[in-house]
Amino acid sequence: MSQKNVYKWYKDFKEGRERVDDLEHSGRPSTSTDEQHVNKVKELVLKNRRLIVKDLTDMIEISEGSVKTILKDHLGLRKVKSRLVPKTLNYCTRSS
């Protein structure tokens, strides 16, 4: 963390802030990582684990970043030897 951020956090807490969670802010909510898109990505990946992110973006018509977020954060998948597998299987595939 930079010195500038340390001073900012110090000032915020000294002024009464009690939590480190992000504060509410204006902005556009994410619409590409909704339940419908998560389910569609999951369905496609379970049918063919050799799909690449570009294929998924073309099929579902959402951004590459959104597809990567869905794969990693929502489905807990990771690419290993050109296959999408659950993160818990990474250690098994590395030893073989």
CB 64 within 8 A of CB 54: yes
Return the higher-pLDDT residue of 78 and 82: 78
Q: Whole domain around residue 37: which residue ranges?
A: 32-96
CATH label of the domain that carries residue 55: 1.10.10
Residue 36 located in a structural domain: yes
Residue 15 located in a structural domain: no
Residue 20 located in a structural domain: no
pLDDT at residue 96, rounded to an integer: 46
Residue 42 located in a structural domain: yes
Mean per-residue pLDDT of the chain: 80
- Tens of pLDDT, residue by residue over 41-63, are 999 988 988 888 899 999 999 88
Domain total of the chain: 1
Residue 62 located in a structural domain: yes
